[in-house]
Structure 1
Amino acid sequence: MSLKDQPVFRTVQAPDSYPRTTSAAVRYVPILKDEVVIGYLWAATTDDAARYVPREQAGDAAFDAAVAWTQRLRWAKANGVTPLRALRHWAGEAEDPRAGRVPVGRPFELASLEALVELAADG
């Protein structure tokens, strides 16, 4: 292997996580950092999938938060928290410097994950 070769990465072990896609409707909550929406945490209405979607207009903070939300969702899965319950699990907690915060309130709902991805892309 030379320095010109592209490295090949292989996951040896990773914690369990919820499926990252769904064909079902999704419930979601905004993720705020300094009162700016940086992304959305969603769960499938079928309660079998969840993920964080960064809001493109929010820049680096939105993408940096994805690491923290991946860790949080893996923790939730490992501790038997359902995806829909995970939406409310962090609601009202103090703002985390990396993950932001989930405001108190009921989740919103969209007909598809694609609609939420479009919302995140449009700002």
Structure 2
Amino acid sequence: MSLTDEPKFRTTFAPESYARTTESAIRYVPVSIDSTIVGYLWAAVSDDAAKYVAREDAGDLGANAGVAWVQRLRQARANGLAPLQALRHWVGQEEDPRAGRIDLDTEQELPNLKALEDLAAG
């Protein structure tokens, strides 16, 4: 392999994650870094789905937070938490420099994931 070759990545192990899409209603919370909303963590109300959605206007900060949330959600799933339990697990905790923070009393519901994606798109 030379420096001009495209690297080939292969995941050797990663804990399972929740499904990344749902047709059900969702509960969501805004994720903030330095008091700026960079994205939303959501969980399905009636099935096994949860994910983080970055706000388009958050740029790299929002996208980088997504990497941390993938790890956190996989950890939550591995520890047996249901999606809504995972969503609520980090509420009120100290801000993580990469993942951000979720303030108390910010959980809301939307009828579907598309509504949250529209919100994140601005």
TM-score (norm 2): 0.91
Match in the other structure for 1:86: 86
Q: 1:10: how far off?
A: 3.5
Residues in 1 aligned to 2:98 and 2:7: alpha-carbon distance in whole angstroms: 28
1:19-61 Cα offsets, whole Å, 9 max, x none, are: 1111111110000111111000000011410000001111111
Q: 1:5: how far off?
A: 5.6
- Aligned 8 A contact 1:18 1:49 in 2: yes
Match in the other structure for 1:42: 42
Aligned length: 122
In structure 1, stretches of 5+ residues that fail to align are none
Match in the other structure for 1:104: 104
Q: SS at the partner of 1:51?
A: strand
Task: Give percent identity, aligned residues only.
Answer: 60
TM-score (norm 1): 0.90
In structure 2, stretches of 5+ residues that fail to align are none
Q: How does 1:1-80 map to 2 (within 5 A)?
A: 6-80=6-80
Residues in 1 aligned to 2:106 and 2:100: alpha-carbon distance in whole angstroms: 18
Q: 1:86: how far off?
A: 1.2
- Aligned 8 A contact 1:26 1:110 in 2: yes
Q: 1:13: how far off?
A: 2.4
